[in-house]
Amino acid sequence: MIKVGIVGGTGYTGVELLRLLAMHPHVEVTAITSRSEAGVRVSDMYPNLRGHYDTLAFSEPDAKQLGRLDAVFFATPHGVAHALASELLDQGTRVIDLSADFRLRDADEWAQWYGQPHGAPALLGEAVYGLPEMHREQIKTARLVAVPGCYPTAVQLGYLPLLEAGLVDAGRLIADCKSGVTGAGRGAKVGSLLAEASESMKAYGASGHRHLPEIRQGLTDIQAGAVSLTFVPHLTPMIRGIHATLYSTLIEAPGDLQTLFERRYAGEPCVDVMPPGSHPETRSVKGTNTCRIAVHRPENSDTVVVLSVIDNLVKGASGQAVQNLNLMFGYDEATGLSAPAVMP
């Protein structure tokens, strides 16, 4: 049994971590922090967790207390993990960061997109990007894991087989993506209000979104060369889910694309390649750590369309964080993550 803590437990990713870890047979959550809610019992704030965390209360962040734990999750806004991560690592605690603080390897690029200097550039060299389907072996021995963002997870998993095989033009990639409103976080924002988001859909960040450099970095690693990506996210009137429609242009005879995807993801516990002709739905992954993928070649043309769906709070955040934890501590990768989706 390992003891873990969560820094920033009142947001959507924090409570999702609590939900998932409540059923994990090898994990005990012994600390959860929130400056604004210190002293409040978790089960009072989140009644769905009654019977699981009845004695656990939010507390002020305490580096010494957290440093006694085996692992600490950061479910915080960007910039917060910078201040504490180094101190925890020095005490032997392994860090799993759900924010964007360690996803980009270039501190200057991070500062450009996040509007402030990077607070811990010395750690960027050892941070492992926590996409298990790409970096499983590095994750196993990592002290610091940067959990990928939701859009980057769906996009990279969708493009991975095509770019690895060198079948498509890496200079002409288009990712048309949709997200539920929980992607904007739990804070009160006018654009996320029911009356504003319901019965409507809109694009945002079309001229540049913070997830763009992360996606580009990952695709460049797969391609082992430069890529050009047009990425346009959209807000849709649903609570959870990411739907990525990915376009690319063939540069070589592809053979059987269905077989290519099935072979690449054979044995991957958290990726499901759907049968030919499928159109995966976001509700089919609600509450799960599964990425469902379908590949199409319209009219046998030189265009490939990949459909990739995830739950933004699970495979796009907290579930992937638990998947990383399992790898880091030698547990079966899918431990605590095998529940089927909730439907309808």
pLDDT digits 0-9 by tens, 157-204: 999 999 999 999 999 999 999 999 998 877 778 888 888 889 999 999
Q: What is the C-alpha to C-alpha distance for residues 211 and 328, in angstroms, rounded to an integer?
A: 25
Residue pair 333/321 in contact by the 8 Å Cβ criterion? no
Active site residues: 150
Whole-prediction pTM: 0.97
pLDDT recorded at residue 197? 87
Q: CATH second-level architecture of 151-312?
A: 2-Layer Sandwich (3.30)
pLDDT at 124 > cutoff 90: yes
More confident residue, 57 or 9: 57
Structure tokens at 153: 């997870």
Give the contacts of 48 (CB within 8 A, at least 6 positions apart).
19
pLDDT at 48 > cutoff 90: yes
CA distances from 101 to 107, 124, 207, 228, 279 (A): 10, 9, 22, 24, 34
pLDDT at 19 > cutoff 90: yes
What does the pLDDT look like over 49-108, one tens digit per residue?
999 999 999 999 999 999 999 999 999 999 999 989 999 999 999 999 999 999 999 999
pLDDT recorded at residue 158? 98
Residue pair 74/114 in contact by the 8 Å Cβ criterion? no
Q: What is the C-alpha to C-alpha distance for residues 178 and 190, in angstroms, rounded to an integer?
A: 19
Residue pair 57/10 in contact by the 8 Å Cβ criterion? no
Classified by CATH at the fold level, domain 2-126 comes out as Rossmann fold (3.40.50)
Q: What is the C-alpha to C-alpha distance for residues 83 and 331, in angstroms, rounded to an integer?
A: 29
All CATH 3.40.50.720 domain ranges of the chain, comma separated, are: 2-126
What percent of the chain lies above the pLDDT cut of 70? 100
All CATH 3.30.360.10 domain ranges of the chain, comma separated, are: 151-312
How large is the average pLDDT for residues 130-142? 98
CA distances from 81 to 6, 86, 280 (A): 11, 9, 35
